[in-house]
Amino acid sequence: MRRLLGIGVLALAACSPERESEYVYVPADGYVISVQIVVPAEARAGEWVPLSAERRSGPWKRVRRAEAPPGFVPFGRPPPEYEAEVADNLDWLTDPPGARFDLPPLDGHKRKVRFDRPGTYQIWARNAYPTDAKSNVVTVTVRK
């Protein structure tokens, strides 16, 4: 009977929700985030063009949850300081507007854009994770 009771207590403990960690990660002094996009400089109207982006962020520091800055969502683990491909994790924009972006893929991280009309476009991306950032701007010349 004791053995059964012990197993029951262990099973109950395993099912209970995890306690929030006392420590979290926040941007450290000197924190910088950058998003660098790569887009071909030339494209043809109506054809899909590959989009690529990398992200760097850091450094991060471990602090007590109560010491996290107000308004900042702290992380349970430090975000990666370098991510080789994050195109699927960005909000893409163009000027002039009107480009079509594919949906983020279920596998992989690449994205594509299609310009329906010839012209000169500026393209960039906005980042929300782990903090807000704007990428570099690339000029794309679209031909017929």
Q: Total structural domains in the chain?
A: 1
- Report the CATH number that the domain containing residue 49 is assigned in CATH: 2.60.40.1080
Mean pLDDT for all residues in the chain? 88
**In this structure, are residues 30 and 59 in contact, taking their beta carbons and an 8 Å threshold?**
yes
CB of 74 closer than 8 Å to CB of 65: yes
pLDDT tens-digit profile of 64-105? 999 998 888 889 999 999 999 999 999 999 999 989 999 988
Domain annotation covers residue 12: no
Q: Is residue 30 part of a domain?
A: yes
Task: Confirm whether pTM is higher than 0.95.
Answer: no
Strands (E), 1-144: 23-38, 42-44, 48-64, 82-83, 91-95, 100-101, 111-114, 119-127, 133-134, 138-143
And the tokens for 6?
A: 């012990």
Q: Is residue 9 part of a domain?
A: no
Q: Does some domain include residue 99?
A: yes
Q: Give the domain extent around 131.
A: 22-143
